[in-house]
Amino acid sequence: MNPPDDRPVPPRHVAVIMDGNGRWAKARGLPRTAGHRKGVESVRALVENARELGIEYLTIFSFSSENWRRPEEEVTDLMHLLRFYLRSEIASLHKGGVRLRVIGDRRRLAPDIIELIDGAEAKTRDNRRLTLVVALSYGSRQEIAEAARRLAEEAKAGALDPAAIDETMVTDRLYTAGIPDPDLIVRTSGEKRISNFLLWQSAYAEFVFVDTLWPDFTKRDLEAAIEEFHRRERRFGATAGPR
């Protein structure tokens, strides 16, 4: 999709590691739950901004497999927020032409949340303006291990020759099958690590780390990250030519 004006064509796929909700709340003397709730507002704005900028795929890291180890009260609140988002935002996403896709291990989610996810994905399946990918109960190492396990099972059953296994076969068995690899990954809050997020898919992504805490992340922050992306020379392992 072309950008709405004469700005450079945006990255096709932008992924965001949303970090800093707890620090945002602590700085204001508020409970961590207040930071998470404010963070949901930032997600809503991010989706709208991505649509306006012409981004085709937007992936957000909403809840990692490691997040299950957080205090029970915090996890419970996060699940309540997830239910609220799925119930309150899907109609708006659908109206705006946004397709929702959730990736991750759903086995640990409550049955009603799984039902809400299934319904939201089915309702928005044919939308094409933006694909919103929500990484939920997601861990990239687990994702890769599961893909390897599936390949091993297929090989054991005689469905494929182990010698024929290649990168495409692995890619096709990841949660993100059918989704292009991210071009740009943004992490907020000043942390400079990727925390088990899209390890396979980010092989040639550009990374931009910003100091802004997630609840304060604005359209201008997104635009600045895209501007930085356009200043990079993406070589994909090739040697740069003469300049």
Long-range CB contact pairs, 237-241, < 8 A, 24+: 237/204
Contacting residues for 94 by C-beta, under 8 A, at least 6 apart = 123, 124, 127
Does 178 belong to an annotated binding site? no
Does 194 belong to an annotated binding site? yes
Which one of the listed residues 6, 19, 126, 127 is annotated catalytic? Answer: 19
Count of Cβ atoms closer than 10 Å to residue 181 Cβ = 17
Amino acid at 132: L
Does 20 belong to an annotated binding site? yes
Which one of the listed residues 5, 6, 49, 67 is annotated catalytic? Answer: 67
Give the Cα separation of 40 and 49 in Å (integer).
Answer: 14
Does 237 belong to an annotated binding site? no
How many helical (H) and strand (E) elements, i.e. helices and strands, does the chain have? 7, 6
**Does 19 participate in catalysis according to the annotation?**
yes
**Does 67 participate in catalysis according to the annotation?**
yes
Does 52 belong to an annotated binding site? no
Does 235 belong to an annotated binding site? no
Does 193 belong to an annotated binding site? yes
Instruction: Catalogue the active-site residues.
Output: 19, 67
Q: Which residues does the annotation place in the binding site for substrate?
A: 20-24, 32, 36, 64-66, 68, 70, 187, 193-195
Q: Which residues does the annotation place in the binding site for Mg(2+)?
A: 19, 206
Q: Which residues does the annotation place in the binding site?
A: 19-24, 32, 36, 64-66, 68, 70, 187, 193-195, 206
